[in-house]
Chain A
């Protein structure tokens, strides 16, 4: 697979189809990879593929430093590819402006990431070139998809509140969660706006609660569950629980799953007369 990946990257660079390939390279330690930006065909050997390729590289589509390198080809797993669908739907990118190198994936991380347990996109849903043997995508029931919420949902309201209070107390306001998120693309985040000061900048209980809840809510109906926010959180806050809960509510109320079909209308940006209003209760 690595050879096929490198060959494709080389071909794309040589033919000048793209200027740069966003891919995975060797990391600081064997259990880590890192994002690499390959601009020369002779550098394609820096590309790798293994179970530690956790990054959702589409986040670099919002970074001016990466965009400066020119038209990109991006190596994406099935989960990452869903981001591209959302970015197209939200008018952040044009399909023709990027080349998608999809890789088939059977799970990443050690131990495997939570998202991989009920993965229904082993083969990306959108790509220009597929690397790896095509895998028949599985289907999961609604309950299976949100199984990671089972324990959490058993908690009483008070217990949930206490749980989040304890989790958010750890937040240091480093904003790694939003910086890594490919869908947190606002040029000036609400947290940086101070007229009025919507969110207290301090990392105290009130500031942390308002930040973390606002971040999650802005991703409601948009998050594609790449779990990058949770992976990068230096305070180990289970941010994906929030994201997943909101995804579940979105699906329950609006029959919408983010990133699956470029023809679907966005849940939060489309008004329908028969929209459920239960969400306001």
Chain B
């Protein structure tokens, strides 16, 4: 289904969503950042950015979430399951790369057994993406088989066709349902072929050359050379829309508590530290290698998908200017030779 949406109708869209019982998440300016966050009115929406600082990940896999509550009375324990975590929501105005991360992550959260916290949120949330009309030098979606107007993972895709109008394409049934629910907000296309304003994202490397190199180069001096500057924080993994590693911890008082799932990251030395003190990944180059290997080899072998959507957030945010696409360029242009 194709429709158009005028900017002047953003307000009726947001009001309409509210009336239909949706929570609305959209890009919002917050000092120096543009954050996907809950909005009440269209005035709060900020669209003049390349990329939001946070990704859509936190709405599906929150930075911290209860997975179990319990009460302890003497030596008896009673458990309670968290409820109401999946709220009917529309994410409006996230980028195609963010949306593309969702079907990729569906695989890990559903293989073998399903993580209901992910699955139920996925069902409750509708993703309305806006194709990128601009990009920056950190963007590399086109190098990982995506594009600034990719439809993967979106329920609805909006593409700018003039300063005040967007072309609306439904991608899934869920998206079509949403558009029908709010029919009056949208118009029918004027006819003819509208000029889509889509960013031109430079292709930086041949992704097909990455995995063959990784297959042969678990041991290579490039890992250490590239990562000496890495400070071992979790910024890259936390802003990444596809990094999904987590920790499980208990937090409680004497009589009641919660078991919570928290974001965790492979760049922390604690991530793999055994209680004995032994650490299979004790140095930063091993941890950096793990990040690249997980994204471009392990995940591919397991789930037939690259665990990267080229959003560039990790490189933008890195305290030491580690640039992932630069690493991949090095890999893709190295002779496929083991040292």
Chains A, B in direct contact (C-beta < 8 Å): yes
Segment touching A, from B78-86, B127-135, B315-323: B315-323
Q: A35-B320, A65-B228 are in contact. Are A236 and B285 (CB under 8 A)?
A: no
Q: A232-B235, A234-B53 are in contact. Are A172 and B63 (CB under 8 A)?
A: yes
Asked if A179 and B232 sit within 8 Å, CB to CB, the answer is yes
Type the 1/0 row for A57-86, where 1 means its CB is closer than 8 Å to any CB of B. Answer: 001100111100100000000000000000
Asked if A232 and B233 sit within 8 Å, CB to CB, the answer is yes
9 A-B pairs besides A65-B228, A172-B263, A234-B235 with CB distance below 8 A are: A65-B227, A65-B283, A172-B238, A173-B238, A201-B247, A202-B249, A204-B64, A235-B33, A236-B53
Residues on B with C-beta less than 8 A from A207 are: 64
Q: How far is the CA of A113 from the CA of B53 in the complex (A)?
A: 21
Type the 1/0 row for A187-227, where 1 means its CB is closer than 8 Å to any CB of B. Answer: 00000100001001111100100000000000000000000
Asked if B249 and A34 sit within 8 Å, CB to CB, the answer is no
Segment touching B, from A10-18, A25-33, A93-101, A260-268: A25-33
Cβ of B170 under 8 Å from chain A: no
Chain B residues bordering chain A, tally (CB within 8 A): 41
Asked if B234 and A175 sit within 8 Å, CB to CB, the answer is yes
Least distance between B270 CB and chain A CB atoms (Å)? 5
Q: A33-B321, A65-B285, A231-B319 are in contact. Are A236 and B268 (CB under 8 A)?
A: no
Asked if B227 and A173 sit within 8 Å, CB to CB, the answer is no
Quick one: which of B234, B270, B320 contacts A192, CB cutoff 8 A?
Answer: B270
A177's closest neighbor in chain B, by CB?
A: B233
Q: How far is the CA of A55 from the CA of B137 in the complex (A)?
A: 21
| Contact-residue size bin, chain A (C-beta under 8 Å from the other chain) | 35 or more
- Counting residue pairs across A and B whose Cβ atoms lie within 8 Å, the total is 106
Type the 1/0 row for B221-249, where 1 means its CB is closer than 8 Å to any CB of A. Answer: 00010011111111101110000000101
Least distance between A36 CB and chain B CB atoms (Å)? 8
Quick one: which of B64, B262, B319 contacts A180, CB cutoff 8 A?
Answer: B319
Cβ of B183 under 8 Å from chain A: no
Asked if A173 and B228 sit within 8 Å, CB to CB, the answer is no
Residues on B with C-beta less than 8 A from A173 are: 63, 234, 238, 262-263
Q: How far is the CA of A175 from the CA of B232 in the complex (A)?
A: 9
Cβ of B27 under 8 Å from chain A: no
Cβ of B32 under 8 Å from chain A: yes
Asked if A63 and B63 sit within 8 Å, CB to CB, the answer is no
Q: A63-B284, A204-B64 are in contact. Are A174 and B228 (CB under 8 A)?
A: no
List residues of B (247-284) whose CB comes within 8 Å of A's CBs.
247, 249, 251, 260, 262-263, 265, 268, 270, 283-284
